[in-house]
Amino acid sequence: MTSASVKQRRVNWYHRRIANPLMRRLVGHLPGQALLETTGRRTGLPRRTPVGGRVVDGSFWMVSDHGFASAYVRNIKANPRVRLQIRSRWYSGTAQPLPDDDARARLCRLPRFNSWNVRMLGTDLLTIRVDLDDAQVDTQEQR
């Protein structure tokens, strides 16, 4: 087992047991945080994952810490239609993984706390852009 896979298992445990349950409760109150709802690729059920990112020109930008190995990224590949809760409002959109984007450089333009966590815990960074159907999101809320 490689050190990256051991790290990923530990980080997944941390996210699943500690960070995600806490962040699901705080998502509506913290700028730079959102709740991403994907459709489960096997079950077809909604799956909600707290993510950090920022709205820029009608798109929500974020970086996945485990790239294509993240469950929500695999769900996006199976069905790119997603919903995002930003503050207390839900937005629909289409998510697109961008493997050619420089994820480390992208993190410099996203909220600091989340970017720090992704850099620390990530094993295979991947930029994801969600093109929002309702581009009237207040970009100041995400700073």
Per-residue H/E/C for 95-132: EEEECCCCHHHHHCCCCHHHHHHHHHHCCCCEEEEEEE
Q: What is the pLDDT of residue 116?
A: 85
Tokens standing for residue 67: 């790239």
Q: 44 lies in a domain? A: yes
Q: What is the number of structural domains in the chain?
A: 1
> pTM of the prediction?
0.80
Say yes or no to pLDDT of 60 above 80.
yes
Q: 141 lies in a domain? A: no
pLDDT in tens, 82-94: 999 998 899 999 9
Q: 140 lies in a domain? A: no
Q: 77 lies in a domain? A: yes
Q: 139 lies in a domain? A: no
Say yes or no to pLDDT of 110 above 60.
yes
Average pLDDT, the chain: 85
For helices 3-14 and 112-121, the axis angle rounded to 10 degrees is 140
Q: 142 lies in a domain? A: no
Percent of the chain with pLDDT over 90: 57
The CATH number for 15's domain is 2.30.110.10
At residue 24 the predicted structure's pLDDT band, cuts being 50, 70 and 90, is: low
Q: What is the pLDDT of residue 31?
A: 75
Q: 137 lies in a domain? A: no
Residue type, 69: A
Say yes or no to pLDDT of 139 above 60.
no
Domain ranges, residue 7: 3-132
Q: 17 lies in a domain? A: yes
